[in-house]
Chains A and B, each alone.
Chain A
């Protein structure tokens, strides 16, 4: 009886290796994901913005008074624009914002218009941050209640948008603009939309 019940060993071996192979594949996938997290190629928050290809929402923000910069409203972002615009949501209490600040400074030195939205911040703190780390912003709005940020679909700070010359949103990045992100993603887009 036992002779007929035992299937040929070849098929049994297949049953044994299938789960092993599956686990190995899952492990490899997980490794690729972790690698991507490290290099910034895989971003679990990199869900495309719902606003891609659309004009930003209507808004008009007050200035951050101690910073002595012009305020920001949607009228400043309406196309046709002379060049693409970078819009950056930031706050003085946000540590990753310090990490990305040199990249914003570089862009503004190179003549790229960088507009800022100071998110849920005290005006004095925001201005002090710019004094300490330099000011990359041509215009700066104050969004203390954070409602304009929600209209843009912002998750949190820092978050950066690129508007093309028609004033349409072409790119959104949630997280700090590292030198790698700047070179790999933002610069090619700036060239393409110039």
Chain B
């Protein structure tokens, strides 16, 4: 096990270095946490399903730096988000804004819920309505049972 330690360490170092290089972080922990909060809302356009805080893509690193520069310069969250949004469009926002293009996306949960309720309600109503009348054979058998006979 001890012989493998250098190997394990060598494998572990890239994992640690992968995201949020220490030299990229802001010295002020308050500013850094604000920058991270903003970065987690921004999509890495290279990997697409990661935020720029989670991605090790070169572009994500550049954007992390830009976010930090702007936060350090005193820009608020809206201003920083607007800077990136102006360049990369709605897709860069991990929480898409509500506009005509994204309306269907936002409406989807309600459509799904409404559709489900509709199916349940119509099925119930039909189940209640469609109690089939007894057939001639069943009626005879029922009468037989009532008379106390039966199989």
Q: Which A residues form the contact surface with B (CB < 8 A)?
A: 3-4, 7-8, 44-45, 47-51, 120, 145-147, 150-153, 155-156
Contact = CB atoms under 8 A, between A and B. Distances in A.
Contact of B87 (A3, A44, A48, A151): A151
A45 B66 CA distance: 23
Contacts of B138: 3
Contacts of B132: 8
B62 A50 contact: no
A146 B45 CA distance: 15
Interface of B: 45-46, 48, 58-59, 62-63, 66, 85-89, 91, 127, 130-132, 138
Given A47-B91, A50-B88, A156-B46, A150 B127 contact: no
A45 B44 CA distance: 12
Contacts of A146: 58-59, 62
Given A4-B131, A155-B46, A155-B59, A150 B89 contact: no
B46 A153 contact: no
Given A50-B85, A153-B89, A156-B59, 5 more contacts: A44-B48, A47-B89, A48-B89, A146-B58, A151-B87
Contact of B88 (A4, A8, A145, A153): A153
A50 B87 contact: yes
Contact of A50 (B48, B58, B89, B127): B89
B15 to A, nearest CB: 24
B62 A150 contact: yes
Contacts of B63: 150
